[in-house]
Structures are given as C-alpha cells and as structure tokens.
Amino acid sequence: MAPPLLLLQDISLTLGGRPLLESAELSVSAGERLCLVGRNGSGKSTLLKIAAGLLEADGGTRFMQPDASVRYLPQEPDLSAFPTAFAYVEAGLGPLDDPYRARQLLNELGLSGDEEPARLSGGEARRAALARVMAPEPDILLLDEPTNHLDLPAIEWLEAELKGLRSALVIISHDRRFLQNLSRSTVWLDRGRTRTLARGFSEFEAWRDQELEEEERQQHKIDRKIVAEEHWLRYGVTARRKRNQKRLAGLNTMRSERRQRQAATGDVKLVATEGKVSGKLVIEAEAISKSFGERPIVQNFSMRLLRADRLGVIGANGAGKTTLINLLTGALSPDSGHVRLGANVELATLDQGRASLDPDTILKDALTGGGSDFVEINGERKHVIGYMKDFLFGPEQARTPIGRLSGGERGRLMLARALARPSNLLVLDEPTNDLDLETLDLLQEMLGDYKGTLLIVSHDRDFLDRVATSVLLAEGGGHWIEYAGGYSDMVAQRGSGVGTAPITAASSGAKPKAAPQPRAEKPAGKPRLSFKERHALETLPARMEGLREQMAKLKALLDDPEFYARDPSRFAQVSAAFAKAEAELLTAEEDWLALEIRREEIEG
C-alpha cells in the first residue's frame, strides 16, 4: 500500500479555553476522495487549516510528502490584495503551471478575469477562488464549503470537473448530493475526535447512527455500574478496608469520567409558529410579466399555488428567482397581469442575504424585537434564553452582537426569527446556507410537519428532493416551467439538469431550449430533429396518456360528495395533485404539438 501524501496524527488544539480537537487524525492518499463531516463548531475548518499548514496544532504531528503539492479553498476567500480576478488566480500558480488553464477555468466559471475584486459578489469571488486552487491540479485539494454561494449550474459543473481531476480531495460541505457524488470515504469529527468510514457519504448517516446507539448502550452500562457501586458504598460491609478503599477510588474515577465526558452536541429544536388556516387557494398569478430595462425576468407566467403545496424555485444566479418570489407574494408589482393572494394568508420570510440582521444588534433583541425577554411561540410565551437553547445558543451569548456570530450561527438565528412569526405561507430563500447536516435533517422534518404552504428558493438538490412537491425552473428569457416532484423528478422529466447549458450562458440570462418551438420558416441548411427531440416525440404520447389516467382517478375521488367532509386535508392534497397533473398535461400537449409541427416542416 502506498504511503499517504498527507498524514495528521494525534492532533490536539484548544481554543478559548475549550478543547476543540483531541487526538484527531487524517490520512490522505493519492487520488483519494474523502469528505470531512461533523456539526457546526466541531472543528472541521480548523482541522482542514492544520492539514493545509496554515494553523499550528497544540500537539500531534503533521507529515506531508516533500514533493506533494496542496491547495486550500477557504470558506471566505480574500481577493482584496489583487487588482483583478485573474491576478488573484495567477498568484496561485506554480512555476511550471499553465496560465492558460487558469484563464480557461475562469471563463468556464463565467468570469473574464478582468473583474475588480471589490465589485465581485460572493458567488463570483467563490468562482475565482475555485479557479485559483484547481488550475495547478495539485496532488491534494482541500475544499471548505466549495458550493457556498454557487448556483445549480456552477455546482453541477464543479462536480464534473472535480471528478476528472487526478487530485486527492478532502471536502467539507453541507450539500449532501455533492458529497454523495464525489466521496469514497468519510471522516467524522465528533467531540474533538475523528472516526473513519471506508465508504462514501451515502452510507455515512446509517453508520453514524449505529455508532451513537452503541455508544449509548456502553454509557448505559457504565451508569448502571455507578449506581451499583453507590449502593454498595451506602449499604456494603466495612470489613477488609484496603479492598474497600480501592473500590471506592474506582467509583470516584468513574464519577469523574462521567462528569468530564463531553456529551454529543444537542439538537436544534425546530417548531414553526403556525397561523390561521389559509383558504384552499393561496396564490393565483395570471399572465404576469416583469422586466428590468431590456431584460425580461418573467414573461406571461400563470400558476396557482394551493394550501399545503411545497414549491421549489430553482435556476442560475441572476435568473430572477427572488424577483419571482416577490411578485408572487405581492412585495413587487408586475408590469402586466395580476397576482391574487387567497384568504387569511399570513406570510413569514427567511431572507437569503440575512440583510435584516444589524451586526450591532445583540442576539436577545434580534429574537424579541427589543424591550422584552419573551418570544411567543404558537400562542405561548417562552423566555428568550430557553428559545435560544432550542437553537443551540448558550445563555452567555444573549448579549453577543450579531456581527460576531459565525455563518452557521447567523443561519440558525434567521431560522429562529422566521419560525417565531405566525404563518401559513413560509418563504425560505436559501434556507440551507451555512447549516450543518444534522440541522438540515431537523429543518426537513419540521417542514414536513408544517401544515401551511412553502415557497423555497434553493440550490440544494437533496433538500429539494426531500421537501418540494413541485419545482419551478427558470428556463431563461423570462420563461418558467413547473415540474412535478423534486429536483431529481425534474431532471427525469426534462431529460437534463440545470447545469447542462454553459454557465456563461446561464449567467447572461440566455434561454436554454427545454422544449422546441414551432418555426414559421425553414432554417438555412439541412435541418433535422435532434436526438432529444426524437426521444420526446416517442415518449410524450405515453406520458400524456399516463397523465390522463391519473387525472381520471383523482377526479373519481373528488366527485365523491362526502370526500371533503370526511377528510379535508386529503381532499386538499388530491385537489392539488389534480391541478398539477392538469398543468403537466397541458404542457406536454403543447410540447408534442410544437414537435409535430417541426417534424412536418422538416419532412415536408
């Protein structure tokens, strides 16, 4: 077996008087694909910085092969010392590296290289940082949250590019699908120590749960032994004092170990404050359009959102997702068409940019609004310290300015604020940013139990698959198409993912052609149907027939006059399913007609 390129052994580090890492280890061999997982604050980024040689541990050893090269992607890249994005990327190249590769990566990521760093958005800075670490094709790539601030086309492009690299990868990410697609082994950092699973992330969570269950069983045995020893101490005989003193010392040792044992980090307690039940119809948009200058964001768009629907909104950065949400919720007026909100709609919003957080506001006031020590959750008053604990904030953080919180802590704070407001329509704009995997699990469970309606803007494919009942995709040029199911269902129906078009085209707002349009004139040259068009012509009739059968079954249920009185919740679900099937059938029929017209033009 070849020796590792990078080896960390028995790493320990104490920050702020608290042991962060204790006997942590990491081994990276040539070509390895490894993900590093753990709760927010467990020390993953710190361990990665030690691996990169940017931070010195208090104890332990770091070994790296003398001829091995390593590149590290930080969570927050700093480009301020460079005049242009290309200068920043070029500074990461070695003497033998190809500057053309750096320029090529920048272009593929939608940047020219001439951008001024001060004018770059978070996503653009992240793309420049990715080009900087990937261009040299190092032996080891250490990537800390590489998908942060990236849109779906960029994430899918990055996946494909990393798969083709010879570099060993160590990845920290909250994006489950990204980890599943790239990792072959998993290192779990828990309470300062590391445990290794020689399989990818897709098998990690089941293994982690088994490990925790076994740990709990072992701890239960120790606790029972302590109880037995305490019983002996109170009621046992006092003869043979030397042996008794030894047994007493053993009991004191067990007690001390139990006191000092660092328990697993608690779970966030997510409960949404639900408002009154809304009407069956929540949002109805009819032929709405919105443009900024010459650029169309929404064109002639119509849809109906019913109670308990979970709609995911996806697309490239700059496609207009937030603008569309503002149009649907009435925060922005359309240029034409109209939007109608249903009866009793109570809206709560999680802001994508966390813009409503004043960095000087203390944590307690951010949750209560100031002037009070209580928040109201589902009609009951709760002390703010108790509510803070539900989101893993300690009492000592009550007066901490928001500007001093980490990204994960700010994400939890925004969730706490949004979920405290009574609502039956919850708008979540990038809710997964900076949240660890365990908190994401709890958020998904909470949203599953939420009885209201959800509008979700997200680039997290796994999150959309778990939560959304339909997704609305920006196809470009102001056109939006709704697909039933989650992200994977959309890919199956569309025949491709969001990232199939070049990122530069997606960034500029050019419309990828998801469905062919009828043409008035024959194009120059010899036209022909593409493989995708031929496949659609062959499969659309069966899909339309399937939708008609589905609608017939749903209509039979809805025709029952006692259905609503017997089960109102189920009636709403069936009504929503019927409306979606009807919309899908209409779209499929229009696509098939457009393809038939095109086929006849080519053949005739």
Question: What is the distance between the alpha carbons of residues 441 and 445, in angstroms, rounded to a whole number?
Answer: 6
**Residue 92, marked binder:** no
Cα(first)–Cα(last) distance of the chain, in Å?
65
Enumerate the β-bridge partners of residue 35: 171, 186
Q: Are 332 and 323 in contact (CB under 8 A)?
A: yes
Q: Are 418 and 375 in contact (CB under 8 A)?
A: no
Q: Are 182 and 163 in contact (CB under 8 A)?
A: yes
**Residue 45, marked binder:** yes
Q: Are 478 and 289 in contact (CB under 8 A)?
A: yes
Question: What is the distance between the alpha carbons of residues 144 and 434, in angstroms, rounded to a whole number?
Answer: 11
Q: What are phi and psi of 533, to 5 degrees?
A: -70, -45
**Residue 41, marked binder:** yes
**Residue 514, marked binder:** no
> Strand 193-197 to strand 425-429: parallel, antiparallel, or no bridges (unpaired)?
unpaired
Strand order in the sheet with 18-28: 18-28, 6-15, 59-64
**Residue 317, marked binder:** yes
Strand order in the sheet with 336-341: 295-306, 281-292, 336-341
**Residue 42, marked binder:** yes
**Residue 40, marked binder:** yes
Collect all residues with Cβ–Cβ distance below 8 Å to 538 and sequence separation of at least 6: none
> Strand 281-292 to strand 295-306: parallel, antiparallel, or no bridges (unpaired)?
antiparallel
**Residue 110, marked binder:** no
**Residue 39, marked binder:** yes
**Residue 316, marked binder:** yes
Exposed, middle or buried: residue 397 (CB in 10 Å: 0-12, 13-18, 19+)?
A: middle
Q: Are 346 and 276 in contact (CB under 8 A)?
A: yes
Please name the residue that has the structure tokens 């653009």.
124
Enumerate the β-bridge partners of residue 292: 295
Q: Are 574 and 557 in contact (CB under 8 A)?
A: yes
**Residue 113, marked binder:** no
Listed residue (355, 328, 324, 331) closest to 341, CA to CA? 328
Question: What is the distance between the alpha carbons of residues 147 and 75, in angstroms, rounded to a whole number?
Answer: 10
Q: Are 288 and 336 in contact (CB under 8 A)?
A: yes
**Residue 128, marked binder:** no
- Rg of the chain (C-alpha set): 28
Q: Please enumerate, as own/partner, the contacts of 527-536 that have beta carbons within 8 Å and a separation of 24 or more.
A: 527/601, 527/602, 528/602, 529/595, 529/598, 529/599, 529/602, 532/495, 533/595, 533/598, 535/495, 536/495, 536/591, 536/592, 536/595
Q: Are 578 and 544 in contact (CB under 8 A)?
A: no
Q: Are 547 and 588 in contact (CB under 8 A)?
A: yes
Exposed, middle or buried: residue 257 (CB in 10 Å: 0-12, 13-18, 19+)?
A: exposed
Exposed, middle or buried: residue 176 (CB in 10 Å: 0-12, 13-18, 19+)?
A: buried
**Residue 407, marked binder:** no
Q: What are phi and psi of 88, to 5 degrees?
A: -65, -45
**Residue 123, marked binder:** no
Question: What is the distance between the alpha carbons of residues 75 and 79, in angstroms, rounded to a whole number?
Answer: 13
Annotated binding-site positions: 38-45, 315-322
Annotated binding-site positions for ATP: 38-45, 315-322
